[in-house]
């Protein structure tokens, strides 16, 4: 491996990107427009709506026959019951606004917890109390926990930035290499001493540089507008996106290892990116979703990026707390890049 050849290809790809003013401008404009739009619309909204945790419940669905929750409350269409194994787990979800109300299903007297900073919790509490009055079970044990409000824009920002990074990584690497192979650019490079691993490494490093440069500009620009609440380390937050970018770029490299059809490449990239966009909690949390959906989500690299980033930003997590997510992103990056280098073809 020759670092000088990698550096030359790195500079060449960067110059190509910066000279394409349309692509360069859109990489900045798209996340800005989406974040500002959602920030204005949901500036006073919480991340969850009417999700009620019931403990101790270990099954995938709450067994209503064994709980003290009234039928009137269960029949409310706006209520989604989520099984919670322990009270500690439920209180943690209440604190982070992952659920709106927590109910003890085993207490003789109706007992529940809510976050004093949650507007949705206050609404669900009134629905719950109304259902109890219908059963003539007015006495309750009400517990209020304190927790800092997680604004929707604080929860949403990592998602939209990760989605923008995903599209930029997959198309900026995978689609471009297929186009180079089709127009014969790779065939000319084959005549040089450049190896497949050096070429792919230069493409990966170039795209990561551009992704992090774009991310930094958008972050500081949006932070001036919304004053994001960063609970953890900003450096660690950026590091999670760096690892996520490596993982996503390596997927693009693997898809582009062979093939000359731009149409097939576009279809394959869409086939991969759209499930990640909807199942990796970009737009909404999967709390309370079917178990199989959560299991599929766990297999997606974008999920681990968002879990790590939101833990750092909204929960103040450290490197030890996100070591699993970081380890999986590093593992997928090494695995996909190695496979891409072995399968890579200059011609077809």
Q: What's the whole-number mean pLDDT along residues 194-217?
A: 84
Q: How far apart are the first and last CA of the chain?
A: 23
Same domain, 157 and 303: yes
C-alpha separations of 265 from 25, 88, 103, 160, 318 in Å: 24, 47, 49, 24, 38
Backbone angles phi, psi at 154, to 5 degrees: -70, -35
Listed residue (27, 278, 301, 328) closest to 172, CA to CA: 27
Is residue 336, in this structure, part of any structural domain at all? yes
Report yes or no on 201 lying in a domain: yes
Task: Round to whole Å and give the CA distance between 243 and 115.
Answer: 34
Q: Which residue has the tokens 């170039």?
A: 206
pLDDT digits (tens, 9 = 90+) for 223-270: 888 788 888 899 999 999 999 989 988 888 888 887 667 667 777 777
Residue 207 in domain: yes
Q: What is the mean pLDDT of the chain?
A: 77
53 forms bridges with which residues in the sheet? 82, 102
Residue 253: partners with Cβ closer than 8 Å, 6 or more residues away:
173, 174, 177, 200, 203, 204, 336, 337, 340
Domain finish residue from 78, 111, 145:
145
* Same domain, yes or no: 175 and 314: yes
> For 75, which DSSP code?
T
Structural domain boundaries, residue 99:
51-145
Q: What are the CA-CA distances from residue 200 to residues 4, 18, 162, 204, 320 (Å)?
A: 14, 19, 22, 6, 31
Residues 185 and 257 in one domain: yes
Q: How far is CA 265 from its chain centroid?
A: 24
pLDDT of amino acid 314: 82
Q: Are residues 171 and 286 in the same domain?
A: yes
Residue pair 102/55 in contact by the 8 Å Cβ criterion: yes
Residue 87, domain member (yes or no): yes
Chain-centre distance for alpha carbon 131: 36
Whole-angstrom distance, CA of residue 95 vs CA of residue 114: 8
**Could you tell me if 252 and 324 lie in one domain?**
yes
Residues 27 and 157 in one domain: yes
Higher pLDDT, 299 or 5: 299
How many structural domains are present in the chain? Answer: 2
Task: Report whether pLDDT(330) > 90.
Answer: yes
3-state class (DSSP) for residue 56: coil
pLDDT of residue 107: 78
d(CA 211, CA 275): 21
Residue in 292, 28, 283 with CA at minimum distance from that of residue 165: 28
Q: Is the dihedral of CA 257, 263, 267, 273 positive or negative?
A: positive
For residues 168 and 294, membership in a common domain is answered with: yes
The pLDDT value given to residue 99: 84
Shared domain check, 160 and 119: no
Q: Who's near 245: CB < 8 A, 6+ residues apart?
A: 165, 169, 207, 208, 211, 212
Which strands form 101-104's sheet, in the order they lie side by side?
80-83, 51-55, 101-104, 111-115, 141-145
Q: What is the pLDDT of residue 31?
A: 59
310 has pLDDT over 80: yes
Residues 192 and 303 in one domain: yes
* Residue 42: predicted pLDDT: 47
Q: What is the pLDDT of residues 131-188, one digit of tens each?
A: 777 656 555 666 666 555 567 677 778 888 888 888 888 887 777 788 888 777 887 8
pLDDT digits (tens, 9 = 90+) for 57-114: 766 556 554 556 666 676 666 777 888 888 888 888 887 777 888 888 887 778 888 8
128 and 238 belong to one structural domain: no
Instruction: Answer yes or no: do 160 and 309 share one domain.
Output: yes
Sign of CA dihedral 119, 124, 127, 131: negative
Alpha helices in the chain (DSSP H): 3-19, 21-41, 71-74, 87-95, 119-134, 152-169, 176-183, 185-190, 196-226, 234-255, 262-279, 291-298, 301-315, 323-343
Between CA 222 and CA 213 the distance in angstroms is 14
Mean pLDDT of 326-336: 91
Is the residue at 348 inside a domain?
Answer: no
Together in a domain, 97 and 173: no
Domain end (from 121, 145, 169): 145
pLDDT tens readout for residues 114-131: 887 777 788 888 888 877
The better pLDDT of the pair 316, 152 is held by 316
Domain boundary among 82, 112, 145: 145
């Amino acid at each position: 491996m020759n670092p000088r050849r990698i550096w030359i290809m790195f500079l060449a790809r960067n110059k190509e990107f910066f000279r394409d003013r349309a692509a360069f401008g859109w990489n900045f404009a798209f996340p800005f427009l989406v974040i500002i739009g959602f920030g204005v619309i949901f500036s006073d909204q919480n991340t969850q709506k009417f999700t009620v945790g019931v403990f101790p419940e270990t099954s995938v669905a709450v067994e209503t026959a064994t709980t003290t929750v009234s039928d009137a409350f269960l029949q409310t269409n706006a209520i989604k019951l989520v099984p919670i194994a322990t009270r500690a787990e439920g209180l943690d979800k209440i604190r982070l606004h992952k659920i709106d109300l927590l109910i003890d299903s085993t207490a003789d007297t109706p007992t529940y917890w809510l976050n004093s900073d949650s507007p949705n919790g206050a609404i669900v509490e009134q629905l719950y109390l109304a259902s109890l009055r219908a059963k003539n079970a007015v006495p309750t044990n009400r517990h209020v926990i304190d927790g800092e409000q997680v604004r929707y824009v604080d929860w949403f920002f990592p998602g939209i930035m990760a989605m923008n990074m995903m599209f930029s990584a997959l198309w900026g690497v995978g689609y471009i290499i297929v186009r180079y192979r089709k127009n014969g650019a790779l065939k000319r490079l084959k005549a040089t001493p450049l190896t497949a691993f050096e070429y792919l490494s230069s493409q990966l490093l170039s795209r990561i540089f551009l992704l992090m440069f774009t991310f930094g500009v958008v972050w500081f620009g949006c932070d001036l507008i919304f004053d994001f609440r960063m609970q953890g380390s900003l450096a660690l937050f950026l590091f999670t996106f760096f690892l996520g970018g490596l993982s996503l770029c390596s997927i693009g490299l693997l898809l582009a290892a062979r093939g000359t059809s731009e149409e097939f490449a576009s279809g394959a990239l869409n086939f991969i990116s759209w499930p990640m966009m909807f199942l990796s909690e970009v737009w909404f949390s999967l709390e309370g979703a079917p178990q199989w959906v959560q299991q599929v989500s766990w297999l997606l690299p974008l999920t681990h990026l968002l879990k790590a980033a939101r833990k750092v930003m909204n929960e103040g997590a450290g490197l030890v707390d996100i070591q699993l997510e970081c380890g999986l992103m590093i593992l997928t990056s090494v695995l996909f890049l190695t496979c891409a280098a072995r399968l890579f073809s200059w011609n077809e």
